[in-house]
Amino acid sequence: MDPLFTEIGNLKVIRDHIAHHRFLVRERELLFTNMDTARNTTAVQFNRYSVEELNEMAEYAGRLAARVYLLRGALMLETAVARMKRDPTLLEIPARLRSKNRGPKARQQQSRPPRSSPA
């Protein structure tokens, strides 16, 4: 999961450049900058992306979303397991139901009368 979250984080950084910075167009390149909103000169950023790179990243975002969709069950399972480890009472079975949860073999042994040993 960690590599997947790293990839999402990397894509989010680029998304933030595109969504929150002004851009200038130069032929088939876009230059995104925060020059007019940066608090000081050391915080100024310039990020250049070609149209092809942006299209490639847009397609990649779709594939990344598909991967997340396929893994959502595993994510929910991991969360459920973590919660059960934190709260083991979630796994407790009432005494009245414990015998009913046994398999057929356990039920047969339970219903047999004890054998008496020869004297």
Residue ranges per structural domain of the chain = 2-90
pTM for the model stands at 0.55
- Output 112 or 36, whichever has higher pLDDT: 36
Is the separation of the CB atoms in 69 and 76 below 8 Å?
Answer: no
Instruction: State the burial class of residue 12 (Cβ atoms within 10 Å of its Cβ: 0-12, 13-18, 19+).
Output: exposed
Per-residue pLDDT band for 108 (boundaries 50, 70, 90) equals low
First to last CA, the chain: 65
Cα separation values, 106 from 53, 95, 97, 117, Å: 63, 15, 14, 22
The per-residue pLDDT of the chain, averaged, comes to: 82
- Output 86 or 109, whichever has higher pLDDT: 86
